[in-house]
A = this chain, B = another copy of it.
């Protein structure tokens, strides 16, 4: 967990984005923002884990609850989420897609605008190269965004990278 600062939504100078690396076992969650001056900073990030002993639908419910908590606390205006591609394990891919659907549903219900990015777009935006490794992306992040040094899970780094991609790619009003 990494809580830096909390701004009120009334600060219109700030564009705040909830960024999610979707999954049902681990969900990377980050809140990033851009000030009117164009400075990007990390507001919050975590790797949210669900209990493997619980049934799938309960794990979905926990993820939805955590996302509602983050939305209520940080009041982001948009959801940035990674687009999925099928890998060799179809059953896992299906469950991740289902988790992704539940996440998009919860965020849309809370009026967040949706932005989706492919892994290629994310890697290119962060490292300038579409085939960067996870380690290369993670190493680039502190150069691009004001974030405290601490150990993070891959999913958390991925979420931050997705958030940065959104801040770099979209024009918010």
Q: Chain A interface (Cβ within 8 Å of chain B)?
A: 55-58, 60-61, 64, 84-86, 90, 93-94, 97-102, 104-109, 114
Contacts and interface: CB of A to CB of B under 8 A. Distances in A.
Given A86-B86, A90-B86, A94-B97, A64 B109 contact: yes
A105 B55 contact: no
Given A60-B105, A101-B60, A101-B97, A114 B84 contact: no
Given A64-B109, A114-B57, A94 B104 contact: no
A94 B84 contact: yes
A58 to B, nearest CB: 7
A73 B114 CA distance: 31
Contact of A106 (B105, B108, B114): B105
B105 A105 contact: yes
21 contacts: A55-B114, A56-B104, A56-B114, A57-B104, A57-B105, A57-B107, A57-B108, A57-B114, A60-B104, A61-B105, A61-B108, A64-B105, A64-B109, A86-B93, A94-B97, A99-B101, A101-B102, A101-B105, A102-B102, A102-B105, A105-B106
Contacts of A94: 84, 86, 97
